[in-house]
Structures are given as structure tokens and as C-alpha cells.
Structure 1
């Protein structure tokens, strides 16, 4: 018995499966060695071999996300593999190999959309560095760029600067003002935006602006085509336009009523016309634009100026644009043939403002000598900066507000009226200054009292033509119902001035030009006048009696 060890209470505890008092605490250093991610072992769970997949993982191990790889220890304890925090702000980009396996090749930042290389063997250190800087910039931008926006109803909402919106608006600004493509990269423009509007603004290069313009154009073109699909009829206007680059373009403008019952005007195309401006070339370009936007069967009216090339162009376009008015009926008799010709004539309308300009120009040719004297005087004054300065000082001495005068031009309608309107209030000062500096012409001053009397009479006479041109040049209201009103006013105006001795010489050619275009009232003007609730058939009958 002496050789045997002494039997103690701790031996009884061990026999019962309980920890003895003198045993070492093995769990004390377990967290330091294995971490706190050791999953507890469930003794009630089935054998590890019966688990799904037979990977030696118990029921508790199934709580680990399937997307996270796991490893097994000798004691079947499951540990999570660490995953980089860069993937919280990056979106992986995969490439499919010929074998069908997908391999990660790059990563796209969710904040700035920047793409970085991210192969599995490259690590994520460069992604973490980019993430740190990009998140700081995003937070700073959100803090600095946030603004308070006041709405039209008085409410207040948050506003945040968006670079893509700024670039699109820059494209609109460049297009509307015909600015250089590198305008957004100018240092002065960046300084203005940074100091006055947004401190985080960054310049946009000319190449980027070019790409943005093309993208914006395609978006607007697609949107316009979609909006025109719901339109039943369209009216077109067309003219040739010259840009600053000395290139000629044929503009095609569509006028229609939208689905919201709003009058819309859209420039649908500018086609380069670097060849002869004859009827064949004009018709070819107008037809291509109409076909491009799907409007071949929706054309109701085409309005052009009175050039002979436009008349020849319409003779080729009318057979192709009669889809809206219907096909040609079989002319059984002369009445049907005349009705068909009237409908075809409805499709082609001559520009009313251009007709008014032709009427006025035909009369002003008779008093060209009087108007030439004013043109000579204005040219003499504007030909020297010294003379402009002397006239400026002379006006100040006389207590008159100084101003400059411009010449009239044949291609600018109403320019003669505006030249006389601006010049007549300066009759005394201008006439004295020209007489003192220009000298005499055939023993008489360049501008006599007779010249000013004719100028005042002509300006008063041209007033109604100016008002009609302005009213009929409206954009955001229909002008067809107004045509008969202005035709009647012009006819009465010409009739009332027949006995004026100063105007008798110019009234005859003006009347002939008026009757050439408006002796037979176009059908479009008649239909529009009747459909006007203010006129209807009774008003149309009255206006026909007055015109007769």
C-alpha cells in the first residue's frame, strides 16, 4: 500500500467525467491561439460524414456564407478566410476563357467608374489605395456640392452637383452660342465656375466635348423621332442658311401639335448643300430628311420662299408628299381634276413674309435716289472712327444721346424701315454734321429738306408692313389664321394711299406684286380663317366682300 499512490477526491471527479481541481484550464489560452471564430461543436448533431457534401462540417458550420471559402482543421473546426474590404466599393469584371472558366481581370470603382486591373494573382493593395482616396473625394464632394434649391411652389429641396449634367449643359451652351469646342477647357471659364458656382469643377477637354456633343445629338435625335411617331400631320419650312465657316446648309424645320396639344417647332435637320442650289438638289435633300424621320405620309404643308428653284423643287416633291392628302383620284371630269390640283396647291405655300418683302422692294425702287442719299451719309460717317467720335461729341454738346446708324440690306427684311426709324429722330444733328463735313453735292447739301420729307413719309407708309412681318414671324402661336387679316390690312392701306402725291409713283408696282401672289387667296389661309372661332364662315364672307 505504501508503493501505491494516494487516492483522492479529484480521482473520483475524473472518474465521473468532471474537471478536477488540480487540472489546468485549457480554454484560457484558446482564444489567443485560435481566435474567437471557432464554431462550437454540437454534440447532438449527426456524424460529420452525414453532412451535406461530406466535407466534414457539422450543422453549425452551414451558417458560414457559401461565397466565403472555408478551411478545416484536424478537429473539424471551420475558420473563415479573410476577404479584402476593397470589394465593398469595387465591382469585379470577369473574362470567359476558351475553356469556359471565368477569370477576374479588372475592377470598376462604384464611385468614379474608374477601371483598374484586378487579376486574382495581383492582390488588392492598389484597390485599397484608390478606395481610400475615392471615398474621401466622394464625401467631400457630397459635403461641398450640396445646395438648397427653391422650387417654383416655394418648397425647398436638396440639390447636388452632377458632372454629367454639367457636361451636357456645356454642350447646349456651345451649340446655342456657336462657341469653340475648347471653350470648356479655358482657364478663365474654369476660374469663373470655381469662384462663382462650384469649387470642385474640373475642366473638360475639346476631345471630350466633341464626344459629348455627338452623344447628345444622337440622344436628342432619337427622342425627336420617337415624339414624331405619335404626330398625325406635320408642316415643314425650309431655307438655305450660311454658317461662319462659309458653308451652305439646308435647314428643315417641323411644326406640329404634340400629344399634349402644344404647338411645337423643331429644327430636325441641317443638310450640307455644297453644290448648286437648284431645284433637283434642294428636293433631294428635303426628301432624304423627311424619309429619315418617317414623315413621308404626314406632310400637310411645305412653306418655302419665292425663289424659282424652290418652285421646281416642289414640283418634284408634291407627287411624293401627297400621302397625307390622299392619292390622286381618277379625274372623270374637269371638276375632279381642278379639285385635285387645288389639293396639290395646298401642299406648297409661299412664305408670306417674303411676299411682303417683295411688295415693299418693288415700290422702293422708284425712290432709290432719295434713299441712296441717306445710305451715302451713313457710309461716310461709319467709314472713320474719328468721324464717329466727332459725331458722338457733337451729340453730347447738343444734349442728344449719341448712337450709331446701320445700313439697310436687301436680304434683311424691314431693314430700310428700321434705318429710317433710327435716323429721323436725329434729323437736325445728323443733317448739320453731314453738311459741315461732307460738303456740297452739285451746289446743294447731301441731305436736303426734300430728302427728309420723303424719308418721314416712307417710314410712316412702311409701318404696317413692318407690323405684319413681325406678327407673321411668330413661333409659339399659329400664324395661318392671321393671314387674311393682314392681307386685308395691306390691301386697304394701299388703296387709301392712292391719292398721295409722294406715294403715287410707288403704289402701282406694289399693287401689281400684291395681286400676283394674293389675287387668288390660298386655300390654307381660307381653311385656317374659317376654323378660327373668332371668324368662322360669317367672318370669311365679310372679309371676301371687303377684299373685292
Structure 2
């Protein structure tokens, strides 16, 4: 959406329709109803707010923050955290003076208007590029793609037309230098969000395990679900890593989760989380005993219910069922349809309840 007519007059805008560029223009115009104030912090204090202030319109906070030293404007929402603010590299040593209200901006003269033909050519290149890498067209609807695209557009607008191969680093460099730094920053941000949650350490955790059949490697994931300071539900992926324990016992799974939590918190805090948090998993017996507080994943149960109900497998011969049961080796439940399972289980003809009966 383009800037409204209020940019050049005293009409107060709807803050929900503001873009970052709009706030920058309002700052240069010295609008009296646009102010920047120290953020009121609840719980643990964040050092980032020593350098940034929250934008206000008529004393009401809006979703933007300003660097105290260089006056750079950033989009900020409590739900998305302070990652962009932490990554800000400020070159100013003191608060810079914004341009005078009547001073024209340089981009007013250099910005070009694109045509429908330009947009068509750009999208043609996107289709060709995705096709070369065998990527689905759905990629253009993903947040990650738009983050990359916007960063490239901003970079070109600042430095002009350049060869992308001169500025985009090799994957090994990205892994060694960029990835580790970003992960460290994101962990600090997630830790800050979790600690400031009103219910911390009483949060919810979800974990799951799976096997890479090609290399026969096991993996474990851990996500946190919590309420932020604005009382909105948030989810953060804490880690996905290779499962290196000897077996998949409840004690070993608990140990792998503790190692992930230890990357974020001190041992005493980790102990509190293990004691107070609720773990949500599938219905496997080992998963049910990992934490003291446990809830089954209802979506997983419903999926199994549908899968087992419509399983297309011929029933074993009743005589074979009875014969195997008599020998102490009954058929496992998943070998046949679930309609008669409850009765057969009661009669000792099969060994295990289906998940929706367990």
C-alpha cells in the first residue's frame, strides 16, 4: 500500500496501515503526534532497549522501534521478538539529527516507477529460476522466499546493479560464519521470550523422533509453546538434532531433551522446566514416561484412528488366531482390522490394544 495523503499534512494516520518508510518520512517531518519512548519492560530486562525506543502515535505504542543513536527505524512486534534489533549494526556515536521538515529526501528523485511489463519480466525470471532448481511454484508463497527477495531488492536499491555471485557467499561460508551467528542470536531471543512468559517454567513442550532410513540415523526434535507478555500463544522450535543415546527408553529421551534445554538455560532452570512443563507426544509408552506431566497428542490419535479403521488388510483365519494365541504368540493388533479387536483382546486372542483403546 502506498503512503497516504496524511504524509504531507496533519492528518493522523491509522497506525495499522503504516509501513517502515512511512514512519521514516514522518520522523523527518517532525510530526508532533509521533514520539519515541522508552519501552516498559516486564520481567527480565533486555539490553537491546538501552539502544532502542518504541514509536508512539498520540501516546499509543505502534509496531516500530527507533535506534537512539542513528535514528534507524525497525518493525517491532512483541510476538516476533527482538532479533532484528539485536542484529542492528549502528555506525553512529550519538543521536543523529533528522533532516529538516522541508528538506527533500534523495530517494524522492531517484526512485523509479515500475510498469506491468517490468513486473512480468521479473516473474518470468522467478519461474525460470525455480524451474532450474526443481523448486515448486508454491515457493513464491512462502515467507522465507519473500524474506530473501526483499533483502535482495533492498540491497540493490542501496548499492545499485551488481553481480549476485559477488555478494552471496558459498554454502560452506554460510554454514561456518552466518549460520552459527544467527543461531546464537535466535537462541538469545527465544530464551528471552520464554523467561518473560507469565507462566514460565510452566510451559508446554512437544517432542518427536524419526528415523532416516537411508543412513539409519535417529533424530529428535523439541518445540516450546507458551504465552507471551501480550498473552498471545507462541511457538518456538528449540532444536532438531541427531539422537545419540543407546536406546529409546524414557530416561534416555529425557536426557536428550535436557541437553537441548541446557543450550538455553542454566541447570537449575532446566530442572524447573522438567518438573513444571507439560510434554505433549504421541501415545508410545516410552514417550508417556519422559516427563511427570504428559498429555497425548490428540491429532496423532485421530490420525491413527482413521488409518487403523480403514486399513486394507485381509483378516487372518480365526483358527490361526486361536492357534497362535494358545501358543502364547498372539497376533499383534496392527495385523488386522480394528472392528473386532476389543472383543478379541478380552478373549486373549490379540496382544495389544489399538491406540484409541489404550
Q: Give the TM-score category using the shorter length.
A: 0.3 to 0.5
Structure number with greater CO (CA < 8 Å, separation at least 6) is 2
TM-score (norm 2): 0.39
TM-score (norm 1): 0.27
Q: Report the structure, 1 or 2, having the larger helix content.
A: 1
